């Protein structure tokens, strides 16, 4: 589990390699990742958008951004959490992801909640995150 806290917003990520949906002979590797966003602060916040920086084992970068997560823009009161699962395909047997959520507090202040860097590893290759 990878975890980071920014301004009372705890983001935890658990990646998982999907062997049954990957085809190493065709350079198709797929991971799921489950993200838990928890408001440990004392002000209600809303997740407005996301940004992902995805790097494969050859150094190729994909940037993904858009509104919300999995079609939702959750509002989290203090003590509440939101969990979702998504996926990431790569043409290499490993890679890593990092990103941020654009948040807005109930008082109207915008801020970024950091998503911790995490490894995408398969049994076909293991890498170190530097």
In Å, how far from its chain's centre is CA 62? 13
Low-confidence ranges of the chain (pLDDT < 70): 125-130
Q: What percent of the chain has pLDDT over 70?
A: 95
Confidence (pTM)? 0.92
Domains in the chain, start-ordered, CATH in brackets? 2-121 (2.60.40.1470)
How is the chain classified by DSSP, letter by letter?
A: -EEEEETTEEEEEEEEE-GGG-BGGGTBEEEEEEEEEEE-SSS-EEEEEEEEEEEETT--EEEEEEESBTTB--EE-TT-EEEEEEEEEESSSEEEEEEEEEEEETTS-EEEEEEEEEEEEBTTB-----
| pLDDT score for 129 | 55
């Amino acid at each position: 589990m990878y975890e980071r806290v920014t301004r009372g917003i705890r983001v935890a990520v658990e990646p998982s390699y999907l062997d049954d949906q990957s085809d190493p002979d065709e350079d198709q590797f797929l991971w799921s990742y489950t993200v838990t966003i928890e408001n440990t602060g004392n002000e209600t916040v809303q997740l407005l958008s996301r940004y992902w920086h995805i790097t494969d084992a050859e150094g190729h970068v994909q940037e993904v951004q858009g509104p919300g997560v999995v079609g939702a823009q959750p509002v989290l009161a203090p003590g509440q959490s939101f969990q979702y699962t998504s996926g990431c395909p790569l043409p290499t047997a490993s890679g890593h992801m990092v990103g941020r959520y654009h948040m807005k507090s109930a008082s109207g202040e915008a801020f970024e909640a950091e998503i911790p860097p995490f490894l995408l590893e398969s049994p076909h290759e293991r890498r170190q995150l530097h």
